[in-house]
Amino acid sequence: MEGLFFNVSAGFLEGILRGYKAGLLTQAQYATLTQCETLEDFRMQLSATDYGNFLANEPLPISTSKISDKATQVMVDQFHYLRSNAVAPLDKFLDYITYAYMIDNVILLITGTLHERDTHELLERCHPLGVFDTMPALCVATNVEELYQSVLVETPLAPYFRECLSASDLDDLNIEIIRNTLYKAYLEDFDNFCQSIGGPTYDAMHRILAFEADRRTINITINSFGTDLSKEQRARLFPTIGNLFPAGNNLLAKADEIEQVRAVCDYVAEYRHFFDAAASSASRGNGGAGDDPTSAIAATLEDRFFATEVHLNKLSFLQQFQYSIFFSYFKLKEQEIRSLTWIAECIAQDARDRIQDFITIF
């Protein structure tokens, strides 16, 4: 079935994408960047990579936020080029990539509406991959009821809102519940779409989406400790895919402390070492969260999650003629931008002792 879908256009775009992949920074290039003494040196070194002179017109002193924004725009331009040349079902697959960013953007606008902020200003803070043509229409809403109705009409996220949320749910206390509810619906829907494509695309994407579902389930569990979120509410936020589903999800819904989360994850070989490393780092005081061991472990877990996400997305490039490489490239590019921003910030803050704390890709 998938062979019929993977047409000449998709094969052509895959060739372009593999060319993009060759432009991802190497360990040697990262090493050179970490030796820079100033952000001006950093900019000059980046100009020798595939980023080219993307910062050439930026006035000095250049900021780390500007570096991040401009690097993100390079990624967005690449995405839009591929999307404009894609045909079915690849075009829909690429649209699904944007939905995660749309969720974050819509949540930002909901928060701004609740706090009576100028939502037009918030548009500038929205991630460009999650911007859609009718997004300015959401800024016309003056209250959450109007915003809810606009979301149902004006955005591709309408099915997720319609099936999972009501206007009465849109309040300050529920904002993270709303975000997690939408992500749950999105991950399940994306997985179903990939299953309809089948073949190696589904094999690769299910592995990636299952991990993302498990990561969200673990984070929701840990972050809900000591909050007013009931265990029943917690369980409803867990995606119904992943290596932890269903038995692990049922146990995590009842967990009261970090050791219970560790015990559940011990049943999944890929996740067992996360907690060993996190606990070790937290005991040395490297979690970055003060004296709270749970927060320290959660902070260190996030680093392990990012590293595993990079590993899973690198695997997509080991097999040709399937769609997961489109998803994985942009996830790897996003991680590269996080690493670049980290290095630049360490240079700006003269924090040389932490400049190596980033994730390389190739």
pLDDT in tens, the chain (362 residues): 444 445 546 777 877 877 777 789 999 999 999 999 999 999 999 999 989 888 888 887 889 999 999 999 999 999 999 999 999 999 999 999 999 999 999 888 888 877 777 777 888 889 999 998 878 777 777 777 887 888 877 788 989 988 888 777 777 668 889 899 999 999 999 999 999 999 999 999 999 999 999 999 999 999 999 888 999 999 999 999 999 999 999 999 999 999 999 999 998 988 888 887 555 555 555 545 455 666 667 778 888 899 999 999 999 998 878 999 999 999 999 999 999 999 999 999 999 999 999 998 88
The C-alpha atoms of residue 314 and residue 207 are separated, in whole angstroms, by: 12
pLDDT at 133: 81
Q: For the purposes of burial, counting CB atoms within 10 Å of the CB of 234, is it exposed (0-12), middle (13-18) or buried (19 or more)?
A: buried
pLDDT at 4: 44
Sorted by where each begins, the domain ranges of the chain are: 198-322
75: alpha, beta or left? (left if phi > 0; alpha if psi -120 to 50) = alpha
pLDDT at 187: 98
Rg from Cα positions in the chain: 21
pLDDT at 203: 96
What angle is formed at CA 93 by the lines to CA 92 and CA 95, rounded to 5 degrees? 60
pLDDT at 104: 94
Contact between 167 and 145 under an 8 Å Cβ cutoff? The reply is: yes
pLDDT at 284: 54
pLDDT at 353: 94
pLDDT at 117: 78
Q: Work out whether the CA dihedral 216, 175, 190, 130 comes out positive or negative.
A: negative
Q: Shortest CA distance to 343 belongs to which of 361, 320, 359? A: 359
The C-alpha atoms of residue 8 and residue 133 are separated, in whole angstroms, by: 29
